[in-house]
Amino acid sequence: MILSIASGKGGTGKTTVSVNLALSLGQVQLIDCDVEEPNDNIFIKADIEGSQDVSVEIPQIDPERCLNCGACANFCNFNAIVDLPSGIKIFPSLCHSCGGCKLVCQNDAISWKDKKIGYIRRGKKDDILFYDGFLDVGESRPTPIIKSLKYQIGTDIDTILDCPPGTSCSFLETVNGSDFCILVTEQTPFGFNDLKIAVEALKKMDIPFGVVINRDGIGDDEIEIFCKKETIPILLKIPYNKDIAKLYSKGESFIDCFPEISRQLVYTFYSIKSMIT
């Protein structure tokens, strides 16, 4: 099973659920797809065994062949090629490697070159296979790194994908292909608003999902009313507890101090698994 763990809003406890679920289960793959701010390994403490650069292809122009016709600049919707009085200029960090500029060039003046935008790492913590990825500073395209991470998904082991926060393309890239998505939320107006956006996205992608309410006991009951109305299962409520927050701030999991919640996470996981198979 590929289980993605997401939250419309950052800071709701997505990482807490991902790492504590992985540590409670064991024999699982945990992939931290939040490549702009990966922090699962603060809690997992995996031994890193290797890393691999991630590159994208960007165009380069052969000045000998370029006719300065401007067709490539006109085509590029991302303003990554600009037709300047001094000639055609490429801005690699804006390029989405769509390939369109090369297609419209009538004089075969465009070829490709690799540009590194980040890297992924693999490691191990007991029987947990761990992966995370890092987008280089100044780069704006997390999705190729997320794709590289998702190539590591094994077919013979359950996989937990810790999604990036929000509902932008990096979230969509991560959840795409998941068998189920857990939406971690909190009972606050911001949590509720962003939950609704994530729910709409998952419905459109036809990915089954359920909700975990974190820090239960604070805020109002709007989310529960919403879930009831929309027939969205509330899979688990993790109570608000200062000691869980203290453990988080020290980079520690809660499975030893809160074994009952750990058991409930495992139970939730297997309930989902039986629901989708």
Interface ranges with ligand SF4 (CB under 6 A): 59, 61, 66-72, 75-76, 78, 80-81, 88, 95-101, 104-105, 107, 109-110
Kindly state the smallest distance separating residue 234's Cβ from ligand SF4, in Å. 42
**What whole-number distance in Å separates Cα of residue 133 and Cα of residue 146?**
7
Kindly state the smallest distance separating residue 63's Cβ from ligand SF4, in Å. 9
Kindly state the smallest distance separating residue 89's Cβ from ligand SF4, in Å. 11
**What whole-number distance in Å separates Cα of residue 249 and Cα of residue 51?**
27
**C-beta closer to ligand SF4: residue 96 or 196:** 96
Kindly state the smallest distance separating residue 136's Cβ from ligand SF4, in Å. 18
Cβ contacts of 139 within 8 Å, gap of 6 or more: 93, 117, 118
**C-beta closer to ligand SF4: residue 25 or 80:** 80
Single-letter amino acid, residue 39 = N
With beta carbons less than 8 A apart as the criterion, state whether 51 and 120 touch.
yes
Kindly state the smallest distance separating residue 147's Cβ from ligand SF4, in Å. 17
**C-beta closer to ligand SF4: residue 81 or 184:** 81
Burial of 240 (0-12, 13-18, 19+ CB in 10 A): middle
**What whole-number distance in Å separates Cα of residue 60 and Cα of residue 180?**
41
**C-beta closer to ligand SF4: residue 65 or 228:** 65
**What whole-number distance in Å separates Cα of residue 227 and Cα of residue 211?**
8
**C-beta closer to ligand SF4: residue 64 or 206:** 64
